[in-house]
Amino acid sequence: MNSPVLRSALPARVHHLQPAALTVLAVALVAGLPELFGDRGRLGAVLVLQLGLVLTWVVVTGIQGFAGALAVGAAAAVAADLVLVLPARPELGDLLVVLGLGFLASVVQQMVRRPREDLVASLAGTVLMISAVAALAALLLLGRTHEGHDRALVALLAVGVALLVGHLVDLVLPRPYLATGVPRGLIGLVLSVAAGALVAFLGRHVGGTAGAVPALVLGAALAGVTAMVALVASYVAVEATAADEDGRTPEVDPWALSVVQAVLPFAACAPVALALQMVL
């Protein structure tokens, strides 16, 4: 049995231009606040992204138990940040405690609600949300030292530029399609990876990665992850606005969709950037 082809009611310009604008805002927020307020600014910027993702993710994916899911997601975001901010020598592995307790909280939250419709889908969506906000907390470790701050800036720019190039190219030429019904193409993916690699190469001295090859590897890896997760986020946006069997289109705020499209790639790239910082 073949699954139906998704047909989104979201215009292509909204699908691409709004997330592109929010991407610029996200980069400005995470790169600018630390310059103005130091570690407190970085914590505030990361928390804004986390809470924004929690709210919009629950709205877009239709997780049942709205208030409970919001509470679990917000608590996971705050806990993940505190775990990486309070200790003198925090480690990324400390987030396992947050993920474990967050999973248990998700199970309890979904089991106590009535009625228990869409239990499996809602639980899966909540766990993915917790994983994403915990991953965003890795930005706190990436920019903790002076060298880390410079590398975080280069990494953020590489991710941001890759997202922008992908959206702008796919707005004009989303060919050949990477997923049926989703306005994302192979040309945009390739160019976004190339753009991310170029940004890392140009900023290799600022980021402390003096070698050209390590810089290119850093940029290409981050841009590759960005492009793939951006495709997934676009699929989520299309599915959330696709007409049902009766031809009715769900009413979802386009800006909520755009926040998910803009922030989710940063969540995926944060731990990758931290890992690459340690080996390059």
pLDDT at 11 (0 to 100): 86
Tokens of 37: 């307020």
Largest separation between any pair of C-alpha atoms in the chain: 58
C-alpha 240/C-alpha 221 separation (Å) is 29
C-alpha 154/C-alpha 203 separation (Å) is 6
Rounded to an integer, the average pLDDT of 105-117 is 89
pLDDT at 209 (0 to 100): 61
DSSP string computed for 177-245:
BSSTTS--BHHHHHHHHHHHHHHHHHTTTTTT--SHHHHHHHHHHHHHHHHHHHHHHHHHHHHHHB--T
SS3 115: coil
C-alpha 134/C-alpha 154 separation (Å) is 21
Segment 205-245, tens digit of pLDDT:
876 666 888 899 999 999 999 999 999 999 999 988 886 65
Q: Residue 166 in contact with residue 194, Cβ under 8 Å? A: no
**Between these two residues, 146 and 88, which has the higher pLDDT value?**
88
Whole-prediction pTM: 0.92
Rounded to an integer, the average pLDDT of 3-29 is 84
pLDDT at 204 (0 to 100): 84
Of 107-111, 243-247, 249-253, which one has max mean pLDDT?
A: 107-111
Rounded to an integer, the average pLDDT of 131-156 is 84
What share of the chain has pLDDT > 90, as a percent?
A: 65
Q: Residue 211 in contact with residue 253, Cβ under 8 Å? A: no
Whats the size of the chain, residue-wise? 280
pLDDT at 2 (0 to 100): 44
Tokens of 41: 């600014």
Residue 263: name the closest of 60, 37, 66, 33 by CA.
60
* 1 band by pLDDT with thresholds 50, 70 and 90: very low
| Amino acid identity for residue 204 in this structure | R
Asked whether the predicted pLDDT for residue 90 surpasses 60, the reply is yes
The DSSP output letter for 49 is H
Segment 19-36, tens digit of pLDDT:
999 999 999 999 899 888
